[in-house]
């Protein structure tokens, strides 16, 4: 299948190993991993960042094998999940940085196209999140208020 905005096929992404068994060298229990996840979330880390920290610092290869739940499910149970989904928030941050760049470099055509593509992705993602109920139906995105949303 082609890429979203480039019409190129590209290379396939990485794939996780087929093994769904917990390795014998993992020393954390389900409760300990949940405590670690809540501690890291209270420090202000996102779900993706928590997964990286668990893997690199604590040696937890895949938390869902231990806890039988994803990180976002655990954060939702503990009511620590942010109101704006993480991937949408990162796209909004990206559009803010492009806007700042365009304010200083008005003739940068590549950046103008970049902000159009980024905001197109944001609108597409908003439609999905409104349809699934992750965001309220009256939630709006605009360039002017984007700075307040990404904080």
- Predicted local confidence at residue 100, as pLDDT: 94
Q: Based on the number of CB atoms within 10 Å of its own CB, is 18 exposed (0-12), middle (13-18) or buried (19 or more)?
A: exposed
**pLDDT band at residue 150 under the 50/70/90 scheme:** low
- Predicted local confidence at residue 23, as pLDDT: 83
- Predicted local confidence at residue 76, as pLDDT: 92
pLDDT tens-digit map of 27-77: 999 999 999 999 999 999 999 999 999 999 998 888 888 999 999 999 999
**Secondary structure E strands in 32-124:** none
Q: Assess whether pLDDT exceeds 70 at residue 1.
A: no
Question: Residue 125 corresponds to which tokens in the numbers above?
Answer: 């993602």
Considering the chain, what is the average pLDDT of its residues?
Answer: 89
- Predicted local confidence at residue 6, as pLDDT: 77
């Amino acid at each position: 299948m082609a890429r979203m905005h480039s019409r190129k096929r590209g290379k396939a992404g990485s794939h996780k190993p087929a093994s769904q068994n917990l390795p014998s060298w993992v020393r954390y229990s389900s409760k300990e991993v949940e405590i670690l996840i809540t501690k890291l979330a209270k420090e202000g880390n996102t779900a993706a960042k928590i997964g990286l920290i668990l893997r690199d610092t604590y040696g937890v290869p895949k938390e869902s094998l231990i806890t039988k739940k994803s990180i976002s499910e655990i954060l939702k149970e503990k009511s620590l999940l942010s109101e704006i989904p993480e991937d949408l928030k990162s796209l909004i941050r990206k559009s803010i940085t492009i806007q700042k760049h365009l304010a200083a470099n008005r003739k940068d055509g590549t950046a103008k196209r970049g902000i159009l593509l980024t905001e197109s992705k944001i609108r597409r993602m908003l439609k999905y999140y409104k349809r699934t109920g992750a965001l309220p139906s009256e939630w709006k995105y605009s360039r002017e208020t984007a700075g307040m949303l990404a904080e």
